[in-house]
Amino acid sequence: MDAITLHVQDSGAINLHVGGVNDVPLDIGATVYGGGMPYTGDYTITPSEETQVLPTQSRQLSGNIVIEPIPSNYGLITWNGSTITVS
């Protein structure tokens, strides 16, 4: 059987009609997600003590977001009112 290549562009509704005597199997080769603007922010994040929000809501990501480990040269400084502790 000959293969039929179908290219779909974002243009609203899509109607597909295949005419002929024999059935034509249709296989969606991958999961398809639609809609949303591309995400243009950082994909690699270093943890911090403050909340970090990546503006990904309703966006399409082109890769994985990677959260790096806390760098080995980061120190935590705490103050209890009388003593400074560096750990």
- Confidence at residue 64, expressed as pLDDT on a 0 to 100 scale: 95
Which range, of 1-10, 37-46, 62-71, averages the lowest pLDDT? 1-10
Range ranked top by mean pLDDT from 35-39, 40-44, 67-71: 40-44
Pick the closest to residue 49 from 79, 70, 72, 73 (CA basis): 70
Q: Report which DSSP code applies to 58.
A: T
> What is the pTM (predicted TM-score) of this model?
0.46
The continuous run of DSSP H or E covering 84 comes out as strand 84-86
Q: What is the mean pLDDT of the chain?
A: 80
Q: Which amino acid is at 21?
A: V
